[in-house]
Structure 1
Amino acid sequence: MTNSSFEKRSDRRDRLIGLLQSEYYWQTSDLREELGISQRTLMRELAQLRDAGYPIESSRGVGGGIRLDGRWGVGRINLNHNEVLELILSLAIVESLKSPLLTSNLKAIKQKLFQVFPENQRAAVSDIRQRIMVGDIAKQYITSFYRAPEQAISEPVATSFLQQKLLKIEYVSEAGERSQRVIEAQYLLLNLPIWYIIGWDHLRESSRVFRIDRIQHATILDERFKLREKHVFSGIYSPSYPPI
């Protein structure tokens, strides 16, 4: 994904929303001039705002035009590319947990955020979602020795996963054995509260599952990896959970 193109589009959309929040109606010709865009681009932006739930109203005749419904008053929130991506993924994960309370608007919120991405980047976001799974809540005997991973571990793991870069780790097995590994973070699995990497281990030359809280050190390498077919990993975890 190209951060600069995302930020340019996001800034333009923020400006458009800001203009439409004014008390008077805008002519499309004036909006085009203010934003420096074509009629076609403006119409596409307006259509996507409507699809995302923005209440754009129009008035015909002299003095008419378009604006946001005056009763609409959500303030501007400045989020960068990675923040929007992580927020979409977090909402999708929460939605997958199927909580009966306080989640009725998650799908609509997620869709509005998704619309912020340029069309050519939405497929990449969808592909990332296909690589994240949410399973059952972890059993108590599994969580008894669980400690939430520190940011020094979780950040390189997340970056390795999102950017498809090799990850060098120091790992402690359930038996307490330490080893150095270079792995591909192909998939992520959450058995709340424990996260697992379902990946390819270059030391063993085979698929492996790694508990993220057992990673002692993590370093991102420059080399990128390609995604492997999901069936390569189907034999190392059970059951197979649907993606978020």
Structure 2
Amino acid sequence: MLTASSRLLRLIALLQSRRYWSGRDLSERLAVDPRTLRRDVERLRELGYPVQASAGVGGGYQMGAGAELPPMLLDDEEAVAVAVSLRAAAASVAGIEETTMRLLAKLDQLLPARLRRQASALHAVTISLRSGEPLADAELLTGTAAACRDQECLQFGYRDRGGRMTQRRVEPMRLANSGRRWYLVAWDLQRSDWRTFRSDRMSAPLVTGPRFTPRTPPMDLAEYVRRAISYAPFEYQLKIRLRGTAQELSQRIPTWAGVLEAESDDSCILATGADCLEALAAQLLFAGEFEVVDAPAFMPELRAVVAKLGQRVAD
């Protein structure tokens, strides 16, 4: 059973994870009776957390907006995670560098010496290799995340792969991070289909509302994003058969080279793609020996590109 202080931390985390909670759900999550839950809620209010309660059918608890930031309660693991995450985020999210440094300075003053050493160890021995400017805007990410959390429709400007700007209206589901890029997974209301949107191509202002009932995604969202960003959007798409198990091949084929799926006990299908034939030929170099599955119409042009590369290497 959780101690009283641990239970309060858990209650704060639950209230902040989504907008509404029924009393019954919270009691079950915390393994306490309704009376204890009410006492814990009152304790949070005394500490400055604006917890709101509503009675009747559909009632429950929610974390309201307060005039002042309430005290932050963090256990040891959470404190270390916050410090490490802040240091890492500054390299990929624009507009938070100065704020991150101020917050880290405050954390260093508050953390016990043992936790301060643990939180700063990774940063102390790590060199950050920047490759251009951060690709995500902090304000846009937080606004998008809030729409996902609150299940509110989202409208924004979007620049497609060809540079054309359109207004998009979606039901946002999740944010996904892949290296320095962030993606929004959402149901596109104009196209009546699931889509992924690169955050660096999204533009403010973000317009939210009304609320929606979440749809069932077509598959695991992590797998959906992986497919969407490594194969589906490219002009030139190709499937090849490789000999070996999925475990063996995954050690050799980089994730950005395509989507690898087991076909049998000793073969896999790699779905790969690129915006130009030269890039596609380069990706095939990682595959080693392979067999083309259902040769597409552009195969003669691809062979010509490969032949030209061989000729240049021979020369």
Task: Say yes or no: TM over 0.5.
Answer: no
In terms of Rg, which structure is larger?
Answer: 2
Higher relative contact order (CA 8 A, sep 6+): 1
TM superposition score normalised by structure 2: 0.33
TM superposition score normalised by structure 1: 0.41
